[in-house]
Structure 1
Amino acid sequence: MSIPMSINPFPLSHSHKVSVFSASKPLRQRWPRMGSATSTPIATDRRNGKKEKIVVVMGATGTGKSKLSIDLATRFGGEIINSDKMQVYKGLDITTNKIPPHERRGVPHHLLGELDSEDGELTPEEFRQLGESIIPDITSRKKLPLIVGGSNSLVHALVVEKFDPESNVFDGSGLVSSELRYNCCFLWVDVSFMVLSEYLSKRVGDMLDMGMFEELAEFFDRPGESENTSPRTGLGKAIGVPEFERYFKRYPSPVADPVRKSAYEEAVRKIKDNTCQLAKQQIGKIVKLRGAGWDLRRMDATEAFIAVMTSAEGRSEIWEKQVLEPSVKIVKAFLEE
């Protein structure tokens, strides 16, 4: 099934290859060093001493965060900081479901396809430090920073006043703090898990139709990739890579046979299962943050997704009425405070 563009988190088309931001030198060389002056929190507007205002769009994978963030950015003059820990890396644009440039509607995106995973894995502490530089730069130009992505560990590291890189608040080794160093407006795009699971399963099929398999084949064909791929770090952890690793090691040549078809279908099944499992984990983390006192404003997009799945008429209007319009009102009130 082809998911309508009005609600789908921006799938790629056959005719368009994504060209993400690139860097002439590895970005890690330019990341702030631990303990340097740039690691000091920069969370106040220098003009009035108040905490900088940011909007954080949260939600499980596939819930329409990118669509909502671009809608908000175009209305409020915003720039988007990607907080998806797979989308920060260059490559595998279909597999990691990066939004292509022609669908960003001119909205500047930061940390989207900018890092080379071969330079090392981006840690929450490093993401926090990068955010310390990017957010003041955006606000200095009187633009609104929007933090958007499904990696709640990165969001937590960025916004809490005191961050301990040695603890993980999501596995019980630390406590979630409600003391934040930014003035945050949290928007949580939520979808009934039963509906979301069905949608995610169909989305995997769409991604395969768009070239995900060929993209992964090229990824595994890189020198040295097929000989030593574990343990994986960075981009190698993206859902689709571990699931197809065995397939491409076993079948490097394009010869069709029933056994190969079975292996392919097993890899696809694992991708669908693991995507749904990721969504469940992400929802659990969001619920934990909310329970710790984070003021997350929940937007229920279930009806909009049901309309998408059934190709019902008026699906765009449902999204606007139940997700976009309430979000616009919340952000507008937040900025006027």
Structure 2
Amino acid sequence: MKPLIIIYGSTGTGKSDLAVELATRYNGEIINADAMQMYNGLPIITNKLTTEEQRGIPHHLLGSIELHEDPWVVTQFKKEATRIISEIRGRGKLPIVVGGTSYYLDGLLLKGLVEDQPALEGGAHPEAMLAKLREVDPVIADKWHPNDARKIRTSLEIYFATGRRASDIYAEQRIKKESKWASKDTAQTHGLGEILLFWLYAQREVLNERLDQRVDKMVRSGLLGETAEVYDYLQQRLAAGETVDRSKGIWQSIGFRQFEPYLTAVKATPDAGPALAKLKEAGIEETKAATRQYAKYQVRWMTMKTIASLQEEKLLDRLYLLDSTDISRWKQEVLEKGVELARQFLADEQLPPPTDMSDTAREVLAGSVERSNREDTPCRKTCDICQKTLLTEELWQAHITSRKHAKAVRGAKKRMLIPAHAVPSRSLVAVEPEPSEQDSKQHQ
């Protein structure tokens, strides 16, 4: 048996704590799969475990790249993580992969498009990349949202690496996958060995409050000092005439961008007390909002992408949702259940159905599977009022009947800026519709 444990979950759910507990009890070593935590230093911004919290457990890919380096592409992470997994097993120990960067975990667990993708030159503008993608692969270009720079970039990298269109490769892989699994009922093993998956989940309202409190704690612990370090480092590079691509890497870390106006003002007018205090408070609130939005994005990725892929590869019966909503019951609901499942897994005992873990597990997993099985109707429509592009008919209908869109329509009508052709017919009668959950699914 070549066991491997992988822990998914949004920020603030206790993934790292569970990983350390499992590693302590079952002779494990931990591999970090959080893109920001791969950067050296900045423990508060990237929310790294302290040395004391690591409890002597070896942690790999934690603080392993420098601030000036680009974040790793998925294939780079997969190659290095696979090598480390093999080394950990060679020492007779249990590899545990944990992190919030779901596309790293998916890339490790699920077979990617190509084995080696070159990175495009830093600084490439999203509009320029999209124009090039439309030239070389119009099919895949129409599939991606114009603001989704990561997917656009990846599709171009695939084309330049292979000389083939990503849309053609996707189509071939779908055919192969359907053929591969047509004669198999279950996936007993995986290329990485036998796998146990955990998904730490918390209800949004409760988690949001927890995340707000965590940001306040980060501020008290020195968050502003770290953001100032990053700001000074950026100014040094710019002063040296370097070109800095701020669309990726540490510059996208939550906290730095939100406090940058405050830091700029501090350098310009350090004695402007009331004004600086206002900018500081705005930075705190924006950091909280960005953290909540990121957690929402992580859950959406899990429910709409990862679960669909696990279902296709017959691995869904190895995914166990552990409910960390009530932090006072974290020991009973997350730790004890996770430890027992890991014991059964390592002893090669029969594992219980994932839906038996809790009512939350049953409801969330069933809902996620239902959504992943639902086929949306492709379309490409742009709301001229809200300046948003929707890629399915379902998302379009949800948008034009949403409270946010109705409010924008009323505001634009008051300003008399709505051209007649720009208002969908349903918008004219949407006085105050209830907000739609699906409206949040549009790609940011």
TM-score tier by shorter-chain length is 0.7 to 0.9
State the match for 1:187 in structure 2: 198
State the match for 2:292 in structure 1: 276
Give SS of 1:207's match. helix
Counterparts of 1:125-274 in structure 2, within 5 Å, are 125-164=75-114, 180-182=190-192, 183-222=194-233, 223-224=235-236, 230-252=245-267, 254-274=270-290
TM-score, scaled relative to structure 2: 0.58
Change (3 A) 1:277 1:195: same
* 8 Å CA contact retained: 1:78, 1:107: yes
Counterparts of 1:29-44 in structure 2, within 5 Å, are none
Task: Give 1:231 shift.
Answer: 2.4
Give SS of 1:94's match. coil
State the match for 1:120 in structure 2: 70
Deviations, residues 289-309 of structure 1 (Å, cap 9, x unaligned) = 123313320001112x2xxxx
Q: 1:319 aligns with which of 327, 330, 333?
A: 330
Q: Which deviates more from structure 2 when the two are superposed, residues 278-287 or residues 290-299?
A: 290-299
Q: 1:71 aligns with which of 21, 37, 41?
A: 21
What is the CA–CA distance in structure 1 between the aligned matches of 2:253 and 2:78, rounded to whole Å?
A: 21
Change (3 A) 1:181 1:160: farther
State the match for 1:334 in structure 2: 345
Q: 2:308 aligns with which of 271, 283, 291?
A: 291
* 8 Å CA contact retained: 1:157, 1:163: no
Give SS of 1:203's match. helix
Task: Give 1:119 shift.
Answer: 2.9
What is the CA–CA distance in structure 2 between the aligned matches of 1:141 and 1:92, rounded to whole Å?
A: 31
State the match for 2:11 in structure 1: 61
Aligned residues: 275
**Which has the larger share of helix?**
2
- Across the aligned residues of Structure 1 and Structure 2, the Cα RMSD in angstroms comes to 2.7
Change (3 A) 1:226 1:266: farther
What is the CA–CA distance in structure 2 between the aligned matches of 1:298 and 1:243, rounded to whole Å?
A: 32
What is the CA–CA distance in structure 2 between the aligned matches of 1:230 and 1:152, rounded to whole Å?
A: 23
Structure 1 stretches of 4+ moved >3 Å: 161-168, 170-180, 225-230
State the match for 1:110 in structure 2: 60
Q: Which deviates more from structure 2 when the two are superposed, residues 137-146 or residues 292-301?
A: 292-301
The sequence identity of aligned pairs, in percent, is 32
Q: 1:302 aligns with which of 287, 300, 325?
A: 325
**Which amino acid in the other structure matches residue 27 of structure 2?**
G
Which structure exhibits the higher relative contact order, with contacts defined as CA atoms closer than 8 Å and separated by 6 or more residues? 1
Give SS of 2:36's match. coil
Residue ranges of structure 1 left out of the alignment (5+ in a row): 1-49, 306-314
Rg larger for: 2
**Which amino acid in the other structure matches residue 16 of structure 2?**
S
Q: 1:96 and 2:46 equivalent? A: yes
* 8 Å CA contact retained: 2:246, 2:252: no
Residue ranges of structure 2 left out of the alignment (5+ in a row): 118-139, 145-149, 153-166, 182-186, 349-444
TM-score, scaled relative to structure 1: 0.75
What is the CA–CA distance in structure 1 between the aligned matches of 2:99 and 2:46, rounded to whole Å?
A: 12
Deviations, residues 31-78 of structure 1 (Å, cap 9, x unaligned) = xxxxxxxxxxxxxxxxxxx6x321011100010001111111100001
* 8 Å CA contact retained: 1:160, 1:181: no
State the match for 1:83 in structure 2: 33
Task: Give 1:247 shift.
Answer: 2.1
Change (3 A) 1:114 1:106: same
Give SS of 1:58's match. strand
